[in-house]
Amino acid sequence: MVLTRWLLVVVPSSLVLAVAAPHVADACSPRVCTPAAFVPGGYGGTVPANLPGLYWLPQANAHGQTAPDPAQISLARASEPDTQLPFAAMAASDGRAFLLVPDAPFAVGQTYEARDSDECYSHAQYTRFTIGQPAPLPTALGTLDASLQSIGPSGVNISNGACQVSLIAAQSLVRLTLDASAEPWAELLQLETLVDGQPWSEGPQLTRDLRDLHPTGAVVQVFETCDTSTPGADPGLTTGDHVVELRATVAGTTTTVASTSVSVHLQCTPTAPAGDDAGCNATAPARPRGAARLTSERR
C-alpha cells in the first residue's frame, strides 16, 4: 500500500499577500511596527518540560521604543484561561528578549496559552503549547538537500523590507530533515540560513505534518534575481555555485546546532542541453516565494 503524508510549509501571511502586490517599489512604505513574538509560536505544539521558559520578543516600533512591560503578558493554563499564572521575566541570553518563567514549573501534559496585549496593525500575539517529557538538548540540526534550480516568478524584497514584488529569479529550494536529537526541540528552534558562510536574508520556515501540525523539518529558498528593472529589489546571490547551511539556537539558551551543508547552482541564463530547441528554456516555472506550499511524501 502506498502511504501519502502531506506536509504544510507555514509562512507568514504578509509574505503571501506581498506576492500579489503591485509590481512597483513605490507601493512599499516602512513598517510602523514589528509584531511581538513568542517561542514556541502559536501552533499548539509540544515542547520539552525542561525548556528554560517562554521566550518573548517584545514589539518594536519605528517611531520610538517604549520600555517592554512584562505585565502586558497573560499566562494561563488552557483549561483555566481566566486564572493568571504568576511568572518572573528575565532577560534572555541574546539581549533582545525575555524568558517568562512561571513561579510553579510547567507541568508535563498541561497545555498553556499566553497573550501579549500590545497590538501591531490591530493584531495581538498569542501562543498555545503543551508540555511534553524532558529531553536532552540537541546535538545536531539535521541534513540538507536542494532542488535543481528553476526560473520563474519569485517574491523579492524591496530595500526597505516593507514588502515584496514578484520578479523573475533563478531559485532553488533547500530542505532540512531534522536530526532525531532536534525533533523534541523543533518548536523552540530559532533558525537562520548561511550562504557561503554569511547570513542570508531569508529565514527557514518549519514544515509541518498536516495531520497534527508537528514539525518535520524546514525549507528555505535561495535565489538570483534575473529581472533587475525594479529599483531597490534584492539582487539575491551571484551566478554560480553556493554552499548553504542552516543553524539553530534553542530559544532562551546558548545551545546552537548546525545542519550539514549542500551546494546549489544558480544561473539566470542556463545553457540549453544539446538537442533542445534553442528558443526554449528547459527549466520549470517556480511557485511564487512566500506562498503556502503542500508537499507529499510517499513510502
Query: What CATH number did the domain enclosing 112 receive?
Result: 2.60.40.1220
Name the β-bridge partners of 7.
Answer: 209, 295
Closest to 156 (Cα-Cα) out of 241, 237, 75: 237
For residues 141 and 277, give the distance between their C-alpha atoms in angstroms, rounded to a whole number. Answer: 43
CB 283 within 8 A of CB 272: no
Residues 195 and 290 in one domain: yes
Domain count, the chain: 2
Residue type, 47: V
Residues 146 and 280 in one domain: yes
Residue type, 228: T
**Residue 14, C-alpha cell as written in the block:** 504578509
**What pLDDT score does 91 carry?**
87
CB 145 within 8 A of CB 13: no
Residues 90 and 166 in one domain: no
Location of C-alpha cell 512604505: 29
Domain of residue 14 covers 4-25+138-298
Which of 80, 98, 132 is the endpoint of a domain? 132
Exposure string of 10-48, with b = 16+ CB inside 10 Å and e = fewer, is ebeeebeebbeeeeebeebeebeeebbbbbbbeebbbbb
Residues 179 and 201 in one domain: yes
Residues 182 and 286 in one domain: yes
Q: What is the mean pLDDT of each run of 10 residues along the chain (299 residues)?
A: 44 32 48 85 88 91 71 95 95 84 96 90 84 98 97 85 84 97 96 97 90 90 93 93 97 95 92 48 42 38
Which of 132, 158, 188 is the endpoint of a domain? 132
Location of C-alpha cell 513605490: 26
Residues 169 and 256 in one domain: yes
pLDDT digit string, tens, across residues 58-90? 887 766 566 788 899 999 999 999 999 999 999
Residues 95 and 239 in one domain: no
Sequence-distant contacts of 128-131: CB under 8 A, at least 24 apart: 128/42, 128/43, 128/44, 128/78, 129/40, 129/44, 129/45, 129/46, 129/47, 129/187, 130/44, 130/45, 130/46, 130/47, 131/46, 131/47, 131/48, 131/49, 131/106, 131/107
Which of 88, 109, 132 is the endpoint of a domain? 132
**What pLDDT score does 271 carry?**
60
Residues 146 and 288 in one domain: yes
**What pLDDT score does 64 carry?**
59
Residues 292 and 156 in one domain: yes
**What pLDDT score does 66 carry?**
66
**What pLDDT score does 26 carry?**
43
Q: Got the DSSP string for 248-295?
A: EEETTSS-EEEEEEEEEEE-SSPPPPTTS-TTS--SPPPPPTTS-EEE
Name the β-bridge partners of 292.
Answer: none
Residues 175 and 273 in one domain: yes
Residues 59 and 147 in one domain: no
pLDDT digit string, tens, across residues 139-188? 999 999 999 999 999 988 887 556 888 999 999 999 999 999 999 999 99
Q: Got the DSSP string for 168-189?
A: EEEEEEEEEEE-TTTGGGGGGE
For residues 32 and 160, give the distance between their C-alpha atoms in angstroms, rounded to a whole number. Answer: 12
Name the β-bridge partners of 73.
Answer: 116
**What pLDDT score does 228 carry?**
86
For residues 93 and 70, give the distance between their C-alpha atoms in angstroms, rounded to a whole number. Answer: 17
Phi, psi torsion values for 186, nearest 5 degrees: -55, -40
Cis peptide before 35 (omega within 30 of 0): no
Q: What is the DSSP pairing of strand 123-132 with strand 46-48?
A: parallel
Residues 86 and 227 in one domain: no
